[in-house]
Amino acid sequence: MVEKMENIQQQFGKRNTCIPTNTSLVCSSMVLSLKKEVTLSEQNLKTFSNNIEENQLSCKTERTTSVFVINLRKQPLMPTTPRNARKLLQQKKAKVVSCKPFTIQLLQATGETKQEITLGIDSGYKKIGFSAITKKQELISGELKLRTNVSDKLTERAMYRRNKRNKLWYRQPRFMNRVSSKKKGWLPPSVKHKVESHIRLVNKIKTFLPITKTIIEVAKFDAQKLQNVDIEGVEYQQGQMKGYDNLRAFVLQRDNYTCQICKKKEGIFDVHHIIQRKDGGSNRPDNLSTLHIKCHKDFHSGKIKHIFNKTKSFKQTVIMNNIRKYIVDKIGCNYTFGYITKRKRLELGLDKTHYNDAFVIASGTTQIRSKILLSKQIRRNNRCLQINRKGFKPSIRRKRYNIQSNDVVQYQGRKLIVKGMFNYGKWIRMVDNFGNIINSNVKNVEVKYYGKGIQI
């Protein structure tokens, strides 16, 4: 009898991972395929979460995190898991060189076995998607938000320079000195910035991942075909204004010499920009409208309100047409097209996002997905030369400070983000994770990581 009781206690002492579905005390958590009949003879039965919907979606929502590794020569190696990285840091065999993304550097020589890693880039005008995968898993995935205020900053700079030159009475006016625009391969500064941002992103990823193959999505847009579907042949060279003396004459004739606000034909007319030049509007005929001079003045002064039909802008097509010409040739990578990406993405049942498109571009299929990194591009330097403070004389910034905005510094054992410098660079303004502003002397802080141009 005693031996029988000991055997029963031993049986209850063991963990029974099989939960019957007919019990009234515990909610059934077995998968649907095991709900027919549950016996103790079935093998490999484990306890799942009580939420069946969570069990069904766990394979789709589960994402991994990788820690990137570089060797003593700062060359990228295959990433490791957070657990292995923690062990290396505790054993003083590695050190942290970057937090975003988290990267460690080995302090001793090791084997450098590498796998084939494919990097997919989904090019875009406002956002860039990127994804690096191996045969089994995705190592990094995310989006980069590009700057869209380059044109506004250039216009503002031109205004300040024009005002400054007007005060130099001894300086002779100069015209036709835009030599750089006549060079072959010249791009507008705003377009050049976005093209170089694609190259900068690829080079940054290659600093912590041993990329073996890069694929980028390119496209070729026909701006004239988008406006006129029936255009063909010689019509590409003739354009809309064929037979007209200038742009003004074409707009007036197109609108039948009629004011688009008061709908009257008598009077003196003026040409109005629907999207103003200061807001990025162009001189294309579609962006111009015929107005009376009086109606034009009253509209801008706010006396008259009218809603114009805004035309579609084709600024985004400029950069997309230059991606293949400038980026593919400079990086030396392969390229694919948008319709191929769309077809594969629909076959995999993925949502329309930049990082999902990049995953498909990199030939991703059933790899384990990684966590998404959201990053943005910021200005490297602050060009502000003078700050007019009310009640004080102007404080002129005469040099570039060593600490810039968005740099990460260490202050009293905490890592804070820099907001700016003041008091001629002697004091620094920081912000913590809760948004609290902290001011301190520069001598009390230590720079950990520079913000650079891409913030993750």
**386-455 CATH:** 2.30.30
CA 211 to chain centre: 20
- For residue 218, what is the enclosing H or E element? strand 213-218
**Residue 368 has what DSSP assignment?**
B
Report the greatest alpha carbon distance in the chain. Answer: 117
Candidates 417, 219, 221; CA nearest to 328 is 219
- For residue 273, what is the enclosing H or E element? strand 269-273
Residue carrying structure tokens 């995953």? 359
Q: Is 367 exposed, middle or buried (0-12, 13-18, 19+ CB in 10 A)?
A: middle
Q: What is the pTM of this model?
A: 0.71
Instruction: For the beta carbon of residue 141, count every other beta carbon within 10 angstroms.
Output: 25
Candidates 271, 280, 266, 267; CA nearest to 246 is 271
pLDDT in tens for each of the 456 residues of the chain? Answer: 545 555 545 554 444 444 444 433 333 333 333 333 333 333 333 343 444 333 333 334 567 889 999 999 999 999 999 999 999 999 999 999 887 789 999 998 887 888 999 999 998 888 999 999 999 999 999 999 998 888 888 888 888 778 877 777 666 656 666 666 667 777 888 888 888 899 999 999 999 999 999 999 887 777 777 777 777 777 777 777 777 888 888 888 888 889 988 888 888 888 898 888 777 778 888 888 999 998 999 888 888 888 888 777 777 777 777 777 788 888 888 888 888 999 999 999 999 999 999 999 999 998 999 999 998 888 876 655 555 566 666 666 667 788 888 888 999 989 898 988 888 788 999 998 888 999 999 999 998 877 777 877
Q: CA 273 to CA 294: how far, in whole Å?
A: 15
Which residues, in sequence order, are CB contacts of 186 under 8 Å at separation 6+?
A: 180
Residue carrying structure tokens 């957070």? 82
Select from 3.20.10.10, 3.30.230.70, 3.40.190.10, 3.30.420.10 the CATH code of 118-148+189-221+315-377. Answer: 3.30.420.10
